[in-house]
Amino acid sequence: MLLKFLLLGFSLALFPFVAFSQSSPFLNHHVADQRVSNQKAGELLLSLQPGLDAEKLFAKYPELAAQYDLTTIKQVAKTMNIWLIGHDAEADAAVVLAALYRLPEVQIAQYNHIIKKRDDRKVPNDIFYSDQWQYNNDGSNGGVAGADIDAELAWHITTGGVTPNGDTIVVAIIDDGMDTTMGDMKPNWWKNHNEVPNNNIDDDGNGFIDDYRGWNAYDNDDEIFSTSFVSSAVGWHGSSVAGIVGAKGGDGSGVTGVNWDVDLMIIVGGGDEAEAIAAYDYALQNRKLYDATLGAKGAYVVATNSSWGIDELFYYDAPLWCSFYDSLGKAGIISAGATVNANFDIEVDGDMPTSCPSEYLIAVTNTKRNDEKETQAGYGTLSVDLGAPGEEAYTVEVFSDFAPFGGTSGATPHVAGAIALLFSVPNQEFADYTAGNPDSAGLWVKRFILEGVDANTSLANKSVTEGRLNLFGAIEKMYEYFPDEEPDTNVTIGIGDFWMGNISIYPNPTSAEVVVQLPSSEAVIIRVLGMDGKVYFYTQPAAPARFHHVSLVGMATGVYILEVTSPQGEKSYHRVIKQ
């Protein structure tokens, strides 16, 4: 290799002084190879003999200069005496190039090729992509350059679709339906092909009859869109949400979603708690069926999106709703939930779902194109995980239209889309880990997203991460942990884990006690709270320790919240199951 390098350097050192003969194989080969499409029309580059400029050359051959309208544009380099010249754009460039090669004063002649940037970005060709500032913010229209989710860098690695193991990735959009007539949505619309439509039979055995197009939890059918505004499935809100997660990208029309390719499972639901739980259950049953049949039936659902909720409601007032995120998470589904569109602290005033301490939920607030938190968006240092672009995020609208969306409703599907995109990253080690550990793999994806954020001053003391979503940053975090180090499957990632690193809770589930393992000796306060908010256990050890034993003896079976408070007063929450 060293010899090759030295020889290359030697030949380059001689290169300016070497005059190639007209019969040189290099020249003949070079002329043939330059018949390419990336040449700049009407321009050539010439390396002339030392001391000769292009004007003198053309003066020496006036007939040739006149025949091809040769002009001097500029000298581009004194080294090798390189000149940029112009010629008649209507003339055959190859003929002009060959004519100039025959001149003894011309040492090298070539086209002026157009160079393509290699900045590891992939840009879709969708016609309204330039309006989607959330993916590439150039600072226009009141924006801040770079205040985006680095989508183009992420898309250079993956644009979504399938896992490295061939699983078709599905995101459950729980909302008011989707406009199924839109060209930008049709290619990514999930359908249950194991179900025969309208035969009144549960063909695939997932517990739902005739759910070919998705599911409507209000009406127990698969009507997910209706043009009647009296219907429960209007789809004006859900269409925009679904478009952010996965409008078809790179097809030369409309807009793109966070994923260019992904299956959008449309579930109409969320009008009240019962319908919300029923909607979540549809996604859960299909993921369970997929795993049980090794992919023959069901759907590989990895995320749910809920751009709705209840203001000023605490998790302990909705224990069934809150605990359902754990059920989804155990099957490998991470849920993205929108916080309130109001300027208040979730810890003080409450909100569902974002006050829920489930480790399988990512709570999202809203940021603007100037990279600041929208004033009318909820916050909380324990409850709200991160911000994401939402206000005026450009996406699809019903009836084949495109328009700015907004609120935390627009922010949250960027995170749900990020979850899905991460499962498509070509990282075989993580894909293989996911296959055997769906629940903890989901927690790793949450960790990648939360640790990969861009720091944001407007979210300081307003969220867990104090940052805004960054797709590429999340992918970088995946490669930081996989394959560089083996994951610790005992780690549970709760809302406040960042204050002291990883905390392990084991065994979990348990019938007697759990051990809280800290990364270092700390004098912490530990409480166990029921879903009703009641304190069932309290300890404040006098001496710092790394291991703390928490007794659950005498408590009823069920789900509890274990709260760890650091000496600085920061809190971390973890789910514990008492058997």
pLDDT tens for each residue of 98-112: 899 889 999 888 888
Alpha helix locations (H) across 452-526? 471-481
Quote the DSSP letter at residue 16.
G
Q: Is the pLDDT of residue 348 over 50?
A: yes
* Residue type present at position 296: A
Q: Rounded to an integer, what distance in angstroms lies between the CA atom of residue 191 and that of residue 193?
A: 6
pTM of the prediction?
A: 0.68
Give me 34's structure tokens: 């330059």
Give me 172's structure tokens: 């459950």
E strands present in 114-206: 169-175
Q: Which of 193-210 are b and which e, b meaning 16 or more Cβ less than 10 Å from the residue's Cβ?
A: ebbeeeeeeebbebebeb
* Residue type present at position 416: A
Task: Dump pLDDT digits (tens) for 291-345.
Answer: 999 999 999 999 999 999 999 999 888 999 999 999 999 999 999 999 999 999 9
Q: What is the model's pLDDT at position 27?
A: 35
CB 266 within 8 A of CB 173: yes
Q: What is the model's pLDDT at position 467?
A: 95
The average confidence (pLDDT) of the chain is 84
**Mean pLDDT score, 113-124:** 64
Q: Is the pLDDT of residue 500 over 50?
A: no
Q: Rounded to an integer, what distance in angstroms lies between the CA atom of residue 264 and that of residue 172?
A: 6
Q: Is the pLDDT of residue 407 over 90?
A: yes
What percentage of residues in the chain have a pLDDT greater than 90? 55
**Mean pLDDT score, 411-423:** 97
3-state class of 122 per DSSP?
coil
Quote the DSSP letter at residue 27.
H
Query: Pick from 40, 22, 29: which is nearest to 113 by CA?
Result: 40
Q: Rounded to an integer, what distance in angstroms lies between the CA atom of residue 90 and that of residue 234?
A: 57
**CA of 235: how far to CAs of 107, 179, 257, 402, 468, in Å?**
67, 6, 17, 14, 28
Banded model confidence at residue 546, pLDDT cuts 50, 70, 90: confident
Banded model confidence at residue 386, pLDDT cuts 50, 70, 90: very high
**Mean pLDDT score, 162-187:** 92
Task: Dump pLDDT digits (tens) for 213-247.
Answer: 999 998 999 999 865 444 455 788 999 999 999 99
Q: What is the model's pLDDT at position 354?
A: 95
Task: Dump pLDDT digits (tens) for 445-455.
Answer: 999 999 999 99
Banded model confidence at residue 495, pLDDT cuts 50, 70, 90: very low
Q: Is the pLDDT of residue 365 over 60?
A: yes
**CA of 130: how far to CAs of 239, 388, 468, 524, in Å?**
20, 19, 21, 50
Q: For the chain, which domains are there?
A: 17-113 (3.30.70), 129-433 (3.40.50.200), 498-578 (2.60.40.3080)
**Mean pLDDT score, 503-513:** 80
Segment among 23-32, 151-160, 234-243 with least mean pLDDT: 23-32
Banded model confidence at residue 378, pLDDT cuts 50, 70, 90: very high
Which H/E stretch holds residue 63? helix 62-68
Q: Is the pLDDT of residue 164 over 80?
A: yes
Q: Rounded to an integer, what distance in angstroms lies between the CA atom of residue 109 and that of residue 536?
A: 84
Banded model confidence at residue 289, pLDDT cuts 50, 70, 90: very high
**Mean pLDDT score, 478-494:** 52
Q: What is the model's pLDDT at position 115?
A: 63
Query: Pick from 302, 278, 306: which is nearest to 290 by CA?
Result: 302
Residue 325 burial (CB < 10 Å; 0-12/13-18/19+)? buried
- Tokens 């090798």 correspond to 80
Q: Is the pLDDT of residue 41 over 80?
A: yes
Torsion of CA 115, 116, 117, 120, to 10 degrees: -150
For strand 513-522 and strand 454-455, is the pairing parallel, antiparallel, or unpaired? unpaired
CB 133 within 8 A of CB 394: yes
Q: What is the model's pLDDT at position 575?
A: 75
Q: Rounded to an integer, what distance in angstroms lies between the CA atom of residue 31 and that of residue 110?
A: 8
Looking at per-residue confidence, does 109 or 210 come out higher?
A: 210
CB 319 within 8 A of CB 352: no
SS3 content of the chain, % helix, strand, coil (to 5): 30, 25, 45
Q: What is the model's pLDDT at position 94?
A: 84
